[in-house]
Amino acid sequence: MAAIWATALILVAAGVNVAADTNDLGVNWGTLTSHPIHPKIVVQLLKDNGFKKVKLFDSDPWMVGFLAGTGIEVMLGIPNDQLEFLSEAYGNAKDWIKENCTAHLRKGGVNIKYVAVGNEPFLTSYKGRFTKTAFPAMKNIQKALNEAGVGGKIKAVMPHNADVYESKSDKPSDGVFRSDIKDLMNQIARYLKNNNAPFVVNIYPFLSLYLNSKFPSDFAFFDGGHPIQDKNVQYNNVFEANFDTLIYALRTAGAPNLTIIVGEIGWPTDGHKEANKANAKKFYDGLFRVLASDKGTPLRPGKMDVYLFGLFDEDTKSIEPGNFERHWGIFDFDGKPKFAMDMSGEGAHKELVAAKGVKYLPKQWCVLVSYATDQWLIGEQISWACSQSDCTALQDGASCFGLDSKRRASYAFNSYYQMNNQEDNACDFKGLGNVVKEDPSTDSCKFNTQIKVDGASRLSFANGAISVLVSLVTLFILL
């Protein structure tokens, strides 16, 4: 995920193909969490809040099945670790479509519109790992869809990070696909054009701020300020500049009118000084105004097809890109809305509808015992607890960074305790932990109590959550 380029651009293009309406918003439903909300509850949440589209990162049949009969348009996901398997033999793709896609296509079934093959497979940080397998996998999936008789209705797509294109001048009119994958991306763009499928791109203005301390903060939002001039076009925000940089790259690739879907866009609410609820609300309010206006961008006026990222905070996501990665949700981990959102873009700041039927563990917390004095042992236990739970809110600039040393230890202990379902031995910490009934939260720092997860839900999502936890061996020095 990343939108790195800020810039500008020119003229309007004929044959505009940008779809969707502010009342037709999509949202990303990720499941990299230790305690996933039951899919039945999530689907009701989508319906209650008027989401007409949902983008998934896998295709768990049990989870997808709850979308049957809702009419919600679905983008299934294929993880990057399956690309090689799907690229090496057409039969593998054919079986995948039969088991994960067409099995849901019946009267009253799931309204599948796209199959997302991979997720940002050409990120620079992957160092070319998927460049030989992603495109062949996508072609095999589309061929399987065609042979199943649904290729006209369901399209194979590939969500891309905005770092697949670049501009030497930081202006949209110099937009081209990244030099190391230019030929490959040109081929993909033409393939999508010939197959009447959209180009899916993830754009994150937040990352422009995160990656560049000198980046003008108001350019990341939609309120104007620090405009960029590109020939006879003025850009007032990085989103429009980034989007139009892609259009120039597509022109160079021979697909100037290719439909574009913004597969991910959002703002995190914790884990960094710029990641907070106030900034997130400001960003979304501006985004929704732009979407409601149907003005599009200078090169692509009209309605835009947009999926918000994301639905919930995910406490087992990799934090390699940054501590904010676990805080992209417009809802908290338990399905409670973080702030009022004007999805109509008309100034009606309404509260989102919270998830219904979520059950919690008892209202109790694990904290540092009051008589603890061994600072070395306390630090050791904090690091151990954080390496196996989520302490991103304790990091510099985050919501709990200002806690005193004892409360910081308590936060770390409680994070581990809740992630482990409040088990008795999860609040030991070599005698330093103690379970209390009084909420230790402060005005700025929330000490959570975790939700209950039934066996079926735990089993369904276990593989994803556990694999992430095993891979995250990150020790925090918090005292």
SS3 128: coil
- The one catalytic residue among 120, 166, 240, 325: 120
Residue 223's pLDDT is: 87
H-type helices in 1-133, by residue range? Answer: 39-48, 61-65, 83-88, 90-100
Q: Does the pTM of the predicted model rise above 0.95?
A: no
Catalytic (active site) residue 264: yes
Task: Please report the pLDDT score of residue 463 as a whole number.
Answer: 41
pLDDT for residue 347: 81
- H or E segment to which residue 139 belongs: helix 134-147
Q: What is the pLDDT of residue 455?
A: 62
Q: Summarize pLDDT for 19-70 with one digit per residue, the tens.
A: 333 468 999 999 999 999 999 999 999 999 999 999 999 999 999 999 999 9
Q: Where are the beta strands (DSSP E) in 214-364?
A: 228-230, 233-235, 260-265, 305-308
Among residues 137, 36, 31, 40, which one has the least CA distance to residue 84?
Answer: 137
Residue ranges of the chain whose pLDDT lies below 70 = 1-23, 455-479
Name the amino acid, one letter, at 376: W
pLDDT of amino acid 9? 29
Is 120 annotated in the active site? Answer: yes
Q: What is the pLDDT of residues 260-295, one digit of tens each?
A: 999 999 999 999 999 999 999 999 999 999 999 999
Q: Which of 73, 166, 240, 264 is catalytic?
A: 264
What is the pLDDT at residue 283?
97
Q: What is the DSSP string of 78-99?
A: E-GGGHHHHHH-HHHHHHHHHH
